[in-house]
């Protein structure tokens, strides 16, 4: 059984520290807005829906401690710029009459919506399917069940046999550390691959679909997701593989016309300089570390939401 991502114990928020997975299952006890903001910034909690949920509970803490709600919202908005679910959740909290009740609703609704995404998305998969996924869009990135992995889980519930290839997802290995662990614990046939192997895998074997989550979807369907997603989409188009995006409607940002206007977070070069095994790249070597890329709508076959399937155009 998978651990819960975020728990409210009546006094503090308990956030699963995903930086320590898969070696240890430990929780951070957040008792202030600043604790929550730090957990989001340092990726102790990650995944667009989970970030929104954590931020909502952060406002509950602010209210209980008599802190300024406006300043608390402003602090949380500065944590990560790309995932629009963060801003969507904070906007809901800003307009709530009962903060704790609203935070509970946001968390519970996410689980229900993920289930619905799974029900709509599993119809794209055959009885025996081979799927590639990237980063982590599973139960640990959401309130539970997951978006991209929710489709895989729902397909198994429908009696389908699903084999999953998990991209490691450099530079922080969310695929290797979290997705592979999550799927293995759930008993899926799981194989880990380096990000650079996905195109060759599509050429050599019958891959049925690439399924990813999303952090922000522009009005025209251009989609921001973890860096490396765009390359997967290009390879999928080349090899005739379905490319599916699974995300709740809260991930749509209709104020942004296309992907060029999506703010892309750039993170510290130290994440790339630290190599597996503890070696480091010298400081004098320049590093570029965008956390996300944008996949243009013409490379996406379908965007799957809780309310059904959309063709991105």
Catalytic residues: 215
For residue 279, count CB atoms less than 10 angstroms from its CB and return exposed for 0-12, middle for 13-18, buried for 19 or more: exposed
* Total count of residues recorded for the chain: 313
**Among the residues of 122-179, which ranges form H helices?**
148-157, 174
Residue 311 CB-half CA count within 13 A:
1
Count the Cβ atoms, other than its own, within 10 Å of residue 206: 11
Q: 88: alpha, beta or left, given left = phi > 0 and alpha = psi -120 to 50?
A: alpha
Count the Cβ atoms, other than its own, within 10 Å of residue 202: 21
CA triple 113-244-121, angle to 5 deg:
45
Find all residues with CB under 8 Å of 207, minimum gap 6, and list them. 130, 131, 132, 165, 201, 239, 241
DSSP string, 167-199: E--TTTTHIIIIIHHHHHHTT-EEEEE-GGGHH
Q: Which of 48, 50, 51, 64 is nearest to 12 (CA)?
A: 64
Q: Which of 16, 13, 128, 108 is nearest to 65 (CA)?
A: 13
Tokens 């992907």 -> residue: 259
């Amino acid at each position: 059984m998978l651990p819960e991502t975020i728990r409210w114990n009546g006094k503090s928020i308990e956030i699963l520290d995903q930086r320590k997975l898969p070696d240890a299952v430990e929780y951070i006890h957040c008792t202030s807005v600043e604790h929550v903001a730090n957990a989001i910034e340092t990726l102790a909690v990650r995944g667009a829906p989970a970030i929104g949920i954590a931020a909502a509970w952060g406002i509950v803490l602010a209210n209980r401690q008599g802190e300024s709600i406006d300043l608390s919202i402003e602090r949380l908005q500065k944590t990560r710029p790309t995932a629009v679910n963060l801003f969507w959740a904070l906007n809901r909290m800003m307009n709530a009459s009962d903060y704790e009740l609203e935070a509970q609703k946001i968390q519970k609704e996410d689980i229900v919506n993920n289930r619905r995404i799974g029900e709509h998305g599993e119809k794209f998969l055959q009885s025996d399917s081979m799927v590639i996924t990237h980063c982590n869009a599973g139960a640990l990135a959401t309130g539970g069940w997951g978006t991209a992995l929710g489709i895989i889980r729902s397909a198994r519930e429908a009696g389908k046999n699903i084999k999953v290839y998990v991209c490691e997802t450099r530079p922080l290995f969310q695929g290797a550390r979290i997705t592979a662990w999550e799927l293995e614990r759930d008993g899926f046939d799981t194989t880990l691959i380096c990000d650079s192997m996905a195109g060759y895998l599509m050429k050599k074997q019958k891959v049925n679909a690439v399924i990813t989550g999303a952090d922000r979807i522009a009005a025209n369907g251009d989609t921001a997701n973890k860096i490396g997603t765009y390359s997967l989409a290009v390879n999928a188009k080349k090899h005739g593989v379905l490319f599916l995006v699974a995300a709740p409607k809260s991930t749509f940002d209709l104020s942004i016309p296309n992907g060029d206007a999506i703010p892309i977070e750039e993170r510290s070069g130290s994440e790339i300089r630290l190599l597996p095994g503890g070696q480091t790249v010298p400081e004098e070597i320049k590093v570029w570390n965008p956390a996300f890329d944008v996949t243009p709508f013409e490379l996406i076959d379908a965007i799957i939401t809780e309310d059904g399937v959309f063709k991105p155009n």
